Amino acid sequence: MSLSINASDQSALRLKEFADGNETFQQTYFKKHETQLLNLVKEGQHPRALFIGCSDSRVIPDLIVQSNPGDLFVIRNVGNFVAPYKPDEDFHSTAAGIEYAVGVLKVSEIIICGHSHCGAIEALYAASCETSMIHTAKWLTLGEKAKSMALLALGSSTPKAELLRATEHLSIITQIENLLTYPYVKKLVEEDKLFIHGWYYDIETGGIEYYDPDSYQFRPLSELGD
């Protein structure tokens, strides 16, 4: 089988910015932190947390929490969704990442981070999904419970922006519920060996809120531990 890749001059020009960026990275950040980065090669990774976030290009996990290489094991997908546990031998990329982070890397924290102005959440309220996008349409059903909860709580006459923000927050909670359907996750949570956190990143302010299960509210992350 032959594989044809478009390597036109125009395409190469568009990617040159990334190439220049990599060269800058090698000469600045990598050189400055070379010892630390090479230690991660020698000693392997021991991340403190599994971060499940959205693929949205405006949400960059390491940037928004200023973490270092090796701190976060990151899974990103459309909508930061977690499909319920399904013990079959089909392909499950998010589930495989969760399994590896918990079973092999032994992370002690899992963060599910949603964000404002999420395209996946907005798509839930669209009239229809492009019929050719069969995988996207199926994946978006993972947000339907949050949409139903938002409509029930606020009513369909609520301004769309308010409905979207509520659905984004509620989706984080429903994805946590889905995560707890994984037997090995639930077991470790019940043994206080694994802790799950729901975060909401506001792309307009840069701030993060966390879900407080005691008050059933999202509170500023800066208040955590107060």
Catalytically active residues, by annotation: 54, 56, 58, 115, 118
Determine the residue type at 42: K
**DSSP state, 67?**
P
Q: Which amino acid is at 91?
A: F
Q: What is the DSSP letter of 26?
A: I
- Per the rule left: phi > 0, alpha: psi between -120 and 50, beta: everything else, 128 is beta
Query: What is each CA distance from 54 to 47, 72, 77, 198, in whole angstroms?
Result: 19, 15, 5, 13
What whole-number distance in Å separates Cα of residue 119 and Cα of residue 39?
A: 38
**Dihedral sign from CA coordinates of 168, 77, 126, 58:** positive
Helix, coil or strand: residue 52: strand
Q: Are strands 109-115 and 208-212 parallel, antiparallel or unpaired?
A: unpaired
Task: Tell me the one-letter amino acid at 171.
Answer: S
